[in-house]
A and B are shown apart, each in its own frame.
Chain A
Amino acid sequence: MGDWPACRPTTCHEIETVSRILFVMLHPGFVRYYDDALQALAAAGHQIHVAFEVSRTKLGEDVTAQRLASMSDRITCGPAPTRAESVRTFLARSDRTATRSGGAARRWRDPEARAEAWESFGTTVRLALDYLRYFEPAFEHATALRARAEKRLPRVYPPMVRGVARMGSAARAALSRLLLQLESLAPPNAAIDAFIREQAPDLLLVTPLIELGSQQVDYIKSARRVGVRTALCVASWDNLTSKGLIRVVPDRVIVWNEQQKSEAVTLHGVAPEQVMVTGAQLFDKWFTATPSRTRESFCRRVGLDSDRPFVLYVGSSMFIAPDEVPFAERWLSSLRRAESSTSARLGVLFRPHPANADQWRALDLASEEGVALWPPIGTDPTAADFRSDFFDSLFYSAAIVGINTSAQIEAAIVGRPVLTIRASEFAHAQQGTLHFRHLVGAQDGCVIEAHTLDEHVGQLLAAVGDPAPSIERDRRFVASFIRPRGVDVPAVPVFVESISALARERPPAVRPESWWLRATRPPAIVLARLAHVLAEDRPLWILALRPVITAAVWIAWIPFRIAGAWHDHGYLRVKRLLRATQRAWYESTQVLRHRAHRARKPILSLVRSAARRLAGKNA
């Protein structure tokens, strides 16, 4: 699996712990970028705790994390401290179509409400910063990326940011500085401080940090306050150009290559001496991999003729190619139309992107000969043979075609001709992204690009006929982009060595918060409250109307309350009193009646005797 010792639980006990590393990842999906490196770090004696901010089960990522933890007892995984309001909750709150009931309104002084307000404030400012960066000249053509960043911001802000950004670079720089100052106003996250203190790491690693509105900056800030060294591990080749900003620069930024180093310096303002170039550690396994089965067996499995060469079409992600199937069909038909014996013989294997596979259900291959789709849609990407299957697909193919995907990098490592076509429907993902230029660069790019399908088919047939120039191109690309320290130097040991060196360094001095920040915070809570309210992304008039509606509801509460209180207390008492009165009346009347009854007989006898006496006298 590589040139470093594999970690086994039995041997790990025997090595003394070199250092403690806390690795904060956004979600378990990032494990696949670092699984080999983490195992190697554990084998080198480091104790690693991987904390996930979001627990996601998409594409079986939770399984990947569990598998990682089971590989070594020096690696543990767990959740990061819960946020008062995560970016996901922030975005969910701004969903205008939502019709769910809200919870009880919190009191103004409620600490939870205050924490939520500060989280909203921080996220808003970070999202605004991320949006602002897409007005820089480098992102002139990145309309889709800009639109994506704009979509995340509550609607009240983009016009303001846009207005300032279009005033020129000085205005952009001023706004950026202001937003960074505002971002630093957010108070320290006590839970994160406590988490870092509890973990007591020698080194804090963070990835990806640059997601739009990412809250991971709080880890960097907390580590500074606690006195822990920090580093950002740049996970993938597009991270520095297609996401957000590194808003708080950690002590070190670990990148794959010089191109990324240049991006970190020019686009994120990182000092060159803070950047460490290690190579792409996640691709090491591709250099030593071997096919898991024979070509005949593989072709039989996927449904292709093993006697004919085949082209592998690799699908792209949802953002890059939301509607890829019609294009793939057009590509296939132009390949079939080409008047060439090679073209007629070529088989075609479609391999959808695992996170964008559903749309490929529309692909109708019933009438196509020598064309297959593999793996079947719905295949578990965490399955044991998924990766080996992918390698076999690359290894046995004659060439690889795709729009803009990391599979093209993997194809270059395997040493196959890699091609692409510039298509109008993918302009947002090709000329509209900076990372695409790494693929098609005239000097170091690995991908042969065409501007029309006919031109592409010509290039493809030429590359299949004579792959040598393409392989040379791949080699140059790999030497520059994947293994900048030499094609034969694996990146994982370099990564491990860099991390170990960082962990060995003396911890930085504790950097407490400045007094002016603490002084500014109490009045700034008004801004935080405002950001919290505006994050709902509702029309401004409803915010003005809200106190009126709230007052109306609470005024309506009064009669309901009185009625309730009357029902609970007054009504019963009066009822009881009435009953007692009735009873008293009833009982008193009964007694009187009884007495009257008893008094009637003597009175009657008296009257009768008096009458008799009177009658006797008269007689």
Chain B
Amino acid sequence: MTIVESHVDGHPILVSCPGVSTGGSIPLDVAELLARARQRGVAVCLLPDSIAADHPLFALRSERIVRVDPAGARGRWLRARWWISAVLARAVIRANASAAVFWREIYRELRRHIGDERLPYALRTRLRTIADRSMERSTHATGRVSPDIRARRLLREPLNLRMPASLERTARDEATRCGVSLDRPIVALEFRSRLESLGPAIDRLVRDGYAVVRIGPPGGGPLDLAGVVDLTTTEHADALDLNILMRAKCLVCESPTAQQIAYLTDTPCIRLNVVDPYEAYPLRADGLFTLATPVELNTGRELSVEEGLAPEHVRHLDRFAHRPNRSSDVLAAVEEMLEIVNGAHVDTVRQARYRARIVETAQTLPSNDHRRPDDGFIGDGRLARVQADHVS
């Protein structure tokens, strides 16, 4: 994400354009920009691109972070400045990518000659050295084509955003139309695969007096369980999903997007069936996740929780099938989430050990891997106790 620092009326301002066309994650980009502005005590200007402009995420406001929406010539100037910076940043990335391709092709070309036995051995040895050096240069250039490492530390604190009154009204009207009672404690649910594994957990939530509301894009079929309102089967405004998330005591989700929106809405979140622990590790202290069980496709061997951290797994996810969580595990994880929501949760030794281990192994990821920790910090969240108990 490109962030440009500018001035409006003499006040410093951070300008950025989180959006689909920039290739980033909108919620994370917005959250990071706001967190940076808060840290530096400056105002912020969001320039959503045309595809994402209508998304209600861009309408969220904070009392501590000043949002500036300059119109007219000033707005155009800020957009032009951001655009030039973004183009330059992209040009640098492209140049590095081209350099990586160039050196790699030189490497391949030299390899052709290395195999030519008509050349004297000494020359072939020399060519091999040059080829290896070309490959090193290619790798080095690839390393410079890195996406920005997320400012994980900045994102660990809540952002305290709120919805504008007009959107709030729209959301309320939509809620009434869809049969959602906003006065009851809500647990938001974003889940598409193997819905039956949620059964016992939903029973438990409903028993505890929560209204379970399923949000997100449609898919996976309807969820017909007592106490559940399934919004995925009815047309409704995006503002309702966001409003439910802001009001929810917690979010039970499966997709990274839902988890990232929860960082914006400061909703405690549990993410289930995680395939890549580095990508999904919760940044906030009220975050939790469970891992899908990796199964080696060739042998059928199940990987342990710790083996799931190995580079062989996270670099070659396609060599593994991932078995979703069983309903008993989901129930245990949701119960742990309720402990967090009620402020009664304390990390176990094994959860802390898993966190230390993932930080340690994440350091071994390539330098251009966006999943690397931010200066040794990967997140304040934790692996669900039901799985962390298997950590040695």
A contact set with B: CB distance below 8 Å: 98-105, 325-326, 329-330, 333-334, 336-337, 358-364, 366-367, 377-378, 453-454, 538-539, 542, 545-546, 549-550, 553, 556-557, 560-561, 563-564
Contacts and interface: CB of A to CB of B under 8 A. Distances in A.
Contact of A366 (B107, B193, B322, B326): B326
Contacts of B123: 553, 556-557, 560
Contact of A358 (B108, B297, B327): B297
B176 interface: no
A362 B323 CA distance: 5
The 7 closest A-B pairs by CB, nearest first: A362-B321, A101-B115, A102-B112, A358-B297, A104-B116, A560-B123, A542-B105
20 contacts: A98-B108, A102-B111, A102-B114, A104-B115, A329-B193, A329-B194, A337-B196, A358-B297, A361-B295, A362-B295, A362-B322, A363-B323, A453-B221, A542-B105, A545-B109, A549-B110, A549-B113, A556-B126, A557-B119, A564-B122
A105 B116 CA distance: 7
B196 A336 contact: yes
A557 B113 CA distance: 11
B111 A101 contact: yes
A545 B115 CA distance: 19
Given A333-B194, A378-B300, 19 more contacts: A101-B112, A101-B114, A103-B115, A104-B117, A330-B193, A334-B221, A337-B224, A361-B295, A361-B297, A362-B322, A364-B323, A364-B324, A377-B300, A545-B109, A553-B123, A556-B123, A557-B119, A557-B123, A563-B122
B118 interface: yes
Contacts of A453: 221
A359 B321 contact: yes
Contacts of A553: 113, 119, 123, 127
B10 interface: no
Given A101-B114, A361-B300, A542 B295 contact: no
A100 B111 CA distance: 7
B220 interface: yes
Interface SS of A by simple majority:
helix
B120 interface: yes
B392 interface: no
A358 B221 contact: no
Contacts of A563: 122
B101 interface: yes
Nearest to A366: B326
Contacts, number: 99
A561 B116 CA distance: 15
Interface residues on B, range: 35 or more
A188 to B, nearest CB: 30
Given A102-B115, A330-B220, A564-B120, A546 B322 contact: no
A363 B109 CA distance: 45
A325 B273 CA distance: 15
A557 B120 CA distance: 8
A232 to B, nearest CB: 36
B195 interface: yes
A545 to B, nearest CB: 7
Contacts of A325: 321
A325 B327 CA distance: 18
B298 interface: yes
B293 to A, nearest CB: 8
Contacts of A98: 108
Contacts of A539: 101, 105
Contacts of B135: 99
A336 B194 CA distance: 12
A330 B220 CA distance: 7
A330 B197 CA distance: 11
A596 B122 CA distance: 53
Given A329-B193, A333-B195, A453-B221, A102 B300 contact: no
Contacts of B321: 325, 358-362
A453 B224 CA distance: 14
Interface in B252-266: none
B116 A103 contact: yes
A527 B364 CA distance: 49
Interface in B193-226: 193-196, 220-221, 224
A539 B112 CA distance: 16
Nearest to B319: A358
Contacts of A378: 300
Contacts of B224: 337
Interface string B262-298: 0000000000000000000000000000000001111
B337 to A, nearest CB: 22
Contacts of A326: 193-194
A366 B113 CA distance: 56
Contact of B109 (A358, A367, A549): A549
Interface string B320-339: 01111011000000000000
Nearest to B117: A104
Contacts of B117: 104
Contacts of B111: 99-102
Contacts of A538: 105, 108
Contacts of A362: 295, 321-323
A594 to B, nearest CB: 48
A99 B106 CA distance: 11
Nearest to A424: B219
A192 to B, nearest CB: 29
B120 A561 contact: yes
A358 B297 CA distance: 5
A364 B326 contact: yes
Nearest to A360: B321
Contacts of B126: 556
Contacts of B194: 326, 329-330, 333
A324 to B, nearest CB: 11
B327 A367 contact: yes
A333 B327 CA distance: 13
Contacts of B105: 538-539, 542
Contacts of B112: 101-102, 105
A560 B125 CA distance: 12
Contacts of B300: 361, 377-378
B118 to A, nearest CB: 6
A383 to B, nearest CB: 18
Contacts of A549: 106, 109-110, 113
B122 A560 contact: yes
Given A330-B221, A362-B321, A364-B326, A102 B116 contact: yes
Nearest to B301: A361
Contacts of B114: 101-102
A321 B170 CA distance: 42
Contacts of A361: 295-297, 300, 321
Contacts of B107: 99
A546 B324 CA distance: 51
A362 B292 CA distance: 10
A334 B114 CA distance: 60
Residue among A330, A378, A538, A564 with max Cβ neighbours from chain B (10 Å) = A330
A325 B293 CA distance: 14
Residue among A336, A358, A539 with max Cβ neighbours from chain B (10 Å) = A358
Contacts of A377: 300
